Amino acid sequence: MSLCRLVYYSERNPAVALDTRTLIATCHKNNAPRSLTGMLHYNGTYFLQVLEGGRADVSAIYHRIATDPRHINLILIGCMDVRERLFPTWSMGLHEGMGDRTKEIFLRYFPKERFDPESINVDSLLDVMQDIATEL
Ligand code: FAD
């Protein structure tokens, strides 16, 4: 089975309660047995997520995530076969918030120091996710 990487962003649904600790515990519980790995960034408004693993497993979990009412307006920005994982040791790393260091990272790759859907491209987003992963 091909190794693939899927990248999307979404908006938090303010009408539905969100507990990120519960959410990430579910990610670990479900992802680890399927050898799914990745990184989730939540800035209080947007989620950015990278999912890596076998193509069928990534596809199945994405379809499940896409129906989750805790977020809305999912935009898929990339799904590609890859030779190597970017986040091989995390069944799902969670990075929350927009501290000064995170703003610096966004400013390095994007016109603004925050996530802006208008200026998103998958390569820069993956660079951001790798850099903010070093903060964890
Ligand atoms: P359960 O073990 O039955 O539920 C786990 C816990 O999640 C429950 O205690 C419950 O409180 C809470 N929960 C479940 N659904 C809701 C809901 N609709 N509203 C509020 N709380 C709820 N799942 C993964 O397995 N892997 C991922 O990488 C992943 N990434 C996600 C990223 C985002 C941004 C979001 C919003 C969700 C993500 N999910 C992920 C969760 C996914 O959408 C499903 O909720 C989850 O996979 C269900 O797994 P389960 O049946 O084992 O849940």
- Ligand 1 centroid vs 111 CA: distance in angstroms? 33
- Ligand 1 centroid vs 78 CA: distance in angstroms? 22
Ligand 1 atom with least separation from CA of 17: 20
Give residue 48's pLDDT band: very low, low, confident or very high (50, 70, 90).
very high
Q: In terms of pTM, does the model score above 0.85?
A: yes
Ligand 1 atom with least separation from CA of 92: 28
- Ligand 1 centroid vs 32 CA: distance in angstroms? 14
1, pLDDT greater than 80? no
End-to-end CA distance of the chain: 30
Q: What is the pLDDT of residue 13?
A: 98
Do residues 4 and 49 touch, judged by C-beta distance below 8 A? no
Ligand 1 atom with least separation from CA of 70: 36
CATH 3.40.50.2000 fits 3-98, yes or no: no
